[in-house]
Amino acid sequence: MSLTDILSPSDIAAALRDCQAPDSFSPKKFFQISGMSKKSSSQIKEIFRILDNDQSGFIEEDELKYFLQRFECGARVLTTSETKTFLAAADHDGDGKIGAEGISLFIFI
């Protein structure tokens, strides 16, 4: 399964266009534009599984900086500031990584 099986390719493209400039990435806005915020909890867990590059069950900081590239291989890498802000917002237990439940809570808040 790929992200385009769950999300519209045109919505993904629009979300990526919105954050092309360094330090312009807003996770909440990206989730809204891409359509992720309208998906069910089970769909979000499937998206998370696809985004979890090493299939560890968590998205760690080193994976998070490549978040946009998981949607499109030519997308930019998140800046250090964007990565840290995203991690801090979605890491609800402070362990330095995001689990599927953490990302689901973050998307729906």
Query: What are the boundaries of each domain within the chain?
Result: 7-108
Please name the fold of domain 7-108.
Answer: Recoverin; domain 1 (1.10.238)
- Residue 92's pLDDT is what? 82
Residue 109 pLDDT: 55
pLDDT at 24: 98
* Residue numbers belonging to the annotated binding site: 52, 54, 56, 58, 63, 91, 93, 95, 97
Numbered residues of the known binding site for Ca(2+): 52, 54, 56, 58, 63, 91, 93, 95, 97
pLDDT along the chain (109 residues), means of 10: 94 98 96 94 92 92 94 96 93 87 69
Strand ranges, E, within 21-86:
58-60
Point out which residues pair with 60 in neighbouring strands: 97
Per-residue three-class SS string for 74-93: CCCCCCHHHHHHHHHHHCCC
